[in-house]
Structure 1
Amino acid sequence: MRTRLLAAVLSVVGLLAVTSCAGSPAVPAKVTLGFTAWPGWLPWQVAAEKGFFAVNGVDVELKYFDSYTDSITALATGAIDANSQTLNDTLMSVSGGARQTTVLVNDISTGNDQIIARDGITSVGDLKGKTVAVEKGTVDHYLLLLALNRAKLHEGDVQVVSTMTDSAAAAFAAGHVDAVGAWAPHTTTALTRPGSSPLTSSAEFPSSIPDTLVVREQLAKLRPDLVQRIVNTWFETLGWIAHNPDEATAIMARRAGVSPQTYRAYQPGTTFLTKQENQKAFSSMKLHQEAAQVATFMQQTKLTTRLAPVDGLFDASFVNAP
């Protein structure tokens, strides 16, 4: 899906931070919201197709990205107003100077991010000296580093092949690398390789990968009414999905490019947070503490060159609104 080097992303973000002093992108009446084929963000497709944004009085242009990295860069450079991205990827952007605000936790990854290996590799420790395809600087690169750290290995102990996630999954399925880091639905492609199986997944690192809605800081400050309506739309969409599971699954599976049967298999690996669970996560400082831990780990493992600031990164007002 995405094939940008971390240094390139950070250089773009850094340039934005410098130029933003002279002026920021205008606050729009229409909000452009980015998302990619992650099960925790596909309810946005349901919201668009069922007209829930309009019902809540907000004009949203839903922009689907084949490349997740492109969506992160688009938000960091002001090309879009809001994006669906993980906590660690948001920290990557703010470490480079982007001004962003997290307003909602869509879900926690509970198994849909996986490190998958070929037959004969049965543990993370067995990856030493092996080739691992992963999109560097993004969430499953982060998962790989978490897994290596727990196995008392370092990134230098494996041969990382950096490529877009869909390409990584295809390369692994074709037998070109020993292992791959990928998320659903790309895990389905990877697991077509005979004898392959997951070595570890996000299920083994509880709460480490929250998937969130992030907006430009200026949008949150100057048009909080628009952000609030989008957050309201999210929770209403989840309610509709709960009462119309078959129709909702068909919509999300079509956007993901898989069958409804395949899509249903992803459901245990994505745990959606209710409004009440969001309120608890924001008010208990749990998100802030998790972000501080992730930021430290990312600096230690050289995913970022400096510690990402977490103060002001979260705004609880939108999930706390009646």
Structure 2
Amino acid sequence: MIRRLLAAALLVLCAACGGGQSAAPTGSGGKAVTLGFSAWPGWFPWQVAQEKGFFAKNGVTVELKYFDSYTDSLTALATGNIDANSQTLNDTLASVSGGARQTVVLVNDNSTGNDQIIAKPGITSVAQLKGKTVAAEQGTVDHYLLLLALRKAGLKPSDITFKPLPTDAAAAAFKAGQVDAVGVFAPFTTTALELPGATAIATSKDFPGAIPDHLVVSRSLAADRPEVVQGLVKTWFDTLTWIGANKAEARTIMAGRAGVSEQAYADYDAGTTIFSLADNLEAFSSGSLEKQAKEIGAFLIQSGLADTSPPLDGLLDARFVQGVSS
């Protein structure tokens, strides 16, 4: 039922997924860099950065590429079709396990409730998923959350019927009553919870620190054009400062990109904890990120999602957040 982590097959998928990507110049070979992001509250500030000109202010020319499919963004970075992407730590480890050379240069946020396992009426606990059908995007972050929740409840992956679907399709299938539960992240949680009586029976809030989200760049971009990476990281913190001073306008921009109402977007606030510069400096210097990476790698092996521990050498690069503060 559960095969290896998605990223182990990313290189095989290159031809299929690469066809949908743009042919913009990349960071290692031209002036512009292509930065990918997808539907997650902690990544929508990139839309603000683009609309308010913060990339140009920091001397970087960026093609900001929005992916309707999060999986496609992971594949695009792993196969070199983009230079940088916002993605979770566990999905980055998946790509590294599959042979991709990637580096984490920034912590965007920690998921503190916006990743959820949502069940139909009558199911009020993870233990009650035994024998039920649960949908999620295979090998990505909410599949990981589902496995964490099952283990905590004393269930094995084989105790459920897992239905692999892209996140948007999984939310729609659950709303239509085609599955008993679903693992989704905001804003797709809003779709799933439109099923009358549906409730979240487990969230990322139950697993503190398990789902950190990052700006991840190709190893070659960090090595060959560090000034570009520095500009991206500086842009992020400039954007957060602007958002803090212009909350209403920022929310309008981010809700528009998310395709939800401003009130719905406001409801996501508690479920995503944005990391400040001080938070970033602490995360990189304290060893907490490396500790999380080791724990996630071990869990992926124990759960049958990976064969070997992903190599951590070169995975974390603190110099860019340190460069902002210097």
TM-score, reference length from structure 1: 0.94
Residue identity in the other structure for 2:34 = T
Residue in structure 2 matched with residue 178 of structure 1 by the alignment: 180
Q: Which moved more, 1:300-309 or 1:198-207?
A: 300-309
2 CA distance for matches of 1:261 and 1:26? 40
Displacement of 1:7: 6.6
Residue identity in the other structure for 1:11 = A
1 CA distance for matches of 2:4 and 2:73? 14
Which runs of 5 or more residues in structure 1 are unaligned?
17-23
1 CA distance for matches of 2:30 and 2:125? 49
Residue in structure 2 matched with residue 57 of structure 1 by the alignment: 59
Displacement of 1:98: 0.5
CA contact under 8 A between 1:14 and 1:98: conserved in structure 2?
no
1 CA distance for matches of 2:140 and 2:5? 12
Displacement of 1:300: 1.1
Displacement of 1:10: 1.9
Residue in structure 1 matched with residue 85 of structure 2 by the alignment: 83
Residue in structure 2 matched with residue 13 of structure 1 by the alignment: 11
2 CA distance for matches of 1:127 and 1:50? 45
Displacement of 1:26: 3.9
Change (3 A) 1:8 1:311: closer
1:100-139 Cα deviation digits (max 9, x unpaired):
0000000000000000001111110000000001001000
Counterparts of 1:274-293 in structure 2, within 5 Å, are: 274-293=276-295
**Which of 72, 97, 100 lines up with 2:99 in the alignment?**
97
Change (3 A) 1:123 1:15: closer
Give the 3-state SS of the residue equivalent to 1:234 in structure 2.
Answer: helix
Displacement of 1:310: 1.4
Counterparts of 1:117-196 in structure 2, within 5 Å, are: 117-196=119-198
Counterparts of 1:165-244 in structure 2, within 5 Å, are: 165-244=167-246
CA contact under 8 A between 2:6 and 2:139: conserved in structure 1?
no
Residue identity in the other structure for 2:36 = G
Q: Percent identity?
A: 60
Displacement of 1:309: 1.1
**Which of 76, 79, 92 lines up with 1:74 in the alignment?**
76
Residue in structure 1 matched with residue 259 of structure 2 by the alignment: 257
Displacement of 1:305: 2.3
Residue in structure 2 matched with residue 45 of structure 1 by the alignment: 47
Equivalent residues, number: 311
Give the 3-state SS of the residue equivalent to 1:192 in structure 2.
Answer: coil
Q: Are 2:117 and 1:115 equivalent residues in the alignment?
A: yes
Residue in structure 2 matched with residue 300 of structure 1 by the alignment: 302
1:203-248 Cα deviation digits (max 9, x unpaired):
0100100000000000001100000010000001001001100000
Residue in structure 1 matched with residue 247 of structure 2 by the alignment: 245
Q: Are 2:309 and 1:270 equivalent residues in the alignment?
A: no
Change (3 A) 1:237 1:128: same
CA contact under 8 A between 1:86 and 1:212: conserved in structure 2?
yes
CA contact under 8 A between 1:95 and 1:306: conserved in structure 2?
yes
CA contact under 8 A between 2:5 and 2:94: conserved in structure 1?
no
Displacement of 1:250: 0.4
Give the 3-state SS of the residue equivalent to 2:177 in structure 1.
Answer: coil
CA contact under 8 A between 1:27 and 1:219: conserved in structure 2?
no
Change (3 A) 1:81 1:147: same
CA contact under 8 A between 1:132 and 1:177: conserved in structure 2?
yes
Give the 3-state SS of the residue equivalent to 1:294 in structure 2.
Answer: helix
2 CA distance for matches of 1:48 and 1:73? 23
2 CA distance for matches of 1:195 and 1:274? 36
CA contact under 8 A between 1:107 and 1:271: conserved in structure 2?
yes
> What is the Cα-based RMSD across aligned positions, in Å?
1.6
Residue identity in the other structure for 1:109 = S
1 CA distance for matches of 2:122 and 2:45? 38
TM-score, reference length from structure 2: 0.93
Residue identity in the other structure for 2:8 = L
